[in-house]
Amino acid sequence: MSAGRKALVTLLVLIGLVALAVGVAYFVVKGGSLPSFIPGHKAGSSTYHHKRGLIAVVVGVVVLLIAVISASVGRRR
């Protein structure tokens, strides 16, 4: 695997893991307790953001799948 491809796979894995972490945060943290840099933060809100959480989890899984596929393409058996 070339250095460029290895860097791309590493970047995709990091993005995928961050997206999964944000998705889990949307499911377990109320809107008022979310960090202010995460979209959906509303001061005093007591609701959970299930749709945003689901989208973030799906995006994370898709990005991780792309990382696995790009890491395995061109490998010899």
Residue range 31-64, pLDDT digits in tens? 888 888 877 777 777 788 888 999 999 999 999 9
Contacts of 70-76 with CB under 8 Å at 24 or more apart are 70/5, 70/8, 70/9, 70/12, 71/1, 71/5, 71/9, 74/1, 75/1
Give the pLDDT of residue 37. Answer: 81
Mean of pLDDT over the chain: 88
Residue 11 has pLDDT above 90, yes or no: yes
